[in-house]
């Protein structure tokens, strides 16, 4: 799929599916705005893309905070001009039984995995609505994610993200903006490319 000159903002781009998607998008000619809370991994991703002749910039912000989201979206707009596609991949997954879980871990998991997605959908959705087009892809857990593990907070947040995605699509699709919940599986790159191909 040719994504030449499309500006794609990816949260949690430093590792996992976010990293894989950043590299795949760059290979297809996209301009990648790679976000992460930690500079180490995401700057490595950006360096790899630019060394290979691609285009990418790193944006270090905490997307669980409204101020961080505002800085991120404004920075991408100012430097790259727009956001054509948003991929929300940022996530945390603490491992603790619900009866033993620290309240801070519970709140942080919901803040990153769900509230951050809401804030990004809200900020980027307004930009896309004004432009009359755009695609938002929220990476949710695979069917077996968390099975056999102490991941109650993670699973609760990701279930909420799936429903948030459906509601956001209902509200934004009349304005030319589509919102999808994408399973985080071994085929996530292939699935994302298929969705983007159909949504052209």
Query: In this predicted model, what pLDDT tens digit does every residue of 152-189 receive, in sequence order?
Result: 999 999 999 999 999 999 999 999 999 999 988 888 99
Rg (CA), the chain: 16
Q: Which of 79-83, 133-137, 146-150, 182-186 has the lowest mean pLDDT?
A: 146-150
Measured distance CA(12)–CA(175) in Å, rounded = 27
Domain CATH code at residue 121: 3.40.50.720
**Residue 2 located in a structural domain:** no
Assess contact for 48 and 42: CB atoms under 8 A: no
**Residue 58 located in a structural domain:** yes
Complete edge-to-edge strand list for the sheet that includes strand 177-183: 55-60, 31-36, 7-11, 85-88, 134-140, 177-183
Domain residues for the domain of 62 are 7-194
Torsions phi, psi for 96 (to 5 deg): -160, 140
105 is written with which tokens?
Answer: 């871990």
185 is written with which tokens?
Answer: 């599986």
Q: How many domains does the chain have?
A: 1
**Residue 79 located in a structural domain:** yes
Kindly list the catalytic residues: 154
pLDDT on residue 199 = 82
pLDDT on residue 116 = 98
Residue 76 pLDDT > 90, yes or no? yes
**Residue 127 located in a structural domain:** yes
**Residue 200 located in a structural domain:** no
Burial category of 126 from C-beta neighbours within 10 Å (exposed 0-12, middle 13-18, buried 19 and up): middle
**Residue 199 located in a structural domain:** no
* Tens of pLDDT, residues 9-60: 999 999 999 999 999 999 999 999 999 999 999 999 999 999 999 999 999 9
**Residue 70 located in a structural domain:** yes
**Residue 1 located in a structural domain:** no
């Amino acid at each position: 799929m040719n994504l030449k000159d499309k500006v794609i903002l990816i949260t949690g781009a430093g590792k996992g599916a976010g990293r894989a998607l950043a590299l795949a998008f760059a290979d297809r000619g996209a301009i990648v705005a790679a976000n992460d809370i930690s500079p180490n991994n995401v700057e490595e991703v950006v360096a790899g893309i630019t060394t290979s002749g691609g285009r990418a910039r790193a944006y270090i912000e905490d997307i669980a905070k409204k101020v961080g989201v505002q800085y991120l979206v404004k920075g991408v707009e100012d430097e790259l001009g727009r956001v054509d596609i948003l991929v929300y991949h940022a996530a945390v997954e603490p491992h603790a039984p619900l009866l033993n879980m620290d309240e801070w871990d519970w709140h942080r998991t919901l803040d990153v995995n769900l509230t951050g997605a809401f804030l990004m959908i809200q900020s980027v959705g307004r930009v896309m609505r004004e432009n009359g087009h755009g695609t938002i892809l929220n990476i949710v857990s695979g069917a077996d994610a968390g099975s056999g593990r102490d991941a109650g907070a993670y699973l609760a947040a990701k279930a909420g993200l799936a429903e948030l995605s459906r509601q956001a699509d209902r509200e934004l699709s009349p304005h030319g903006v589509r919102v999808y919940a994408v399973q985080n599986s071994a085929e996530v790159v292939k699935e994302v490319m298929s969705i983007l191909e159909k949504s052209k």
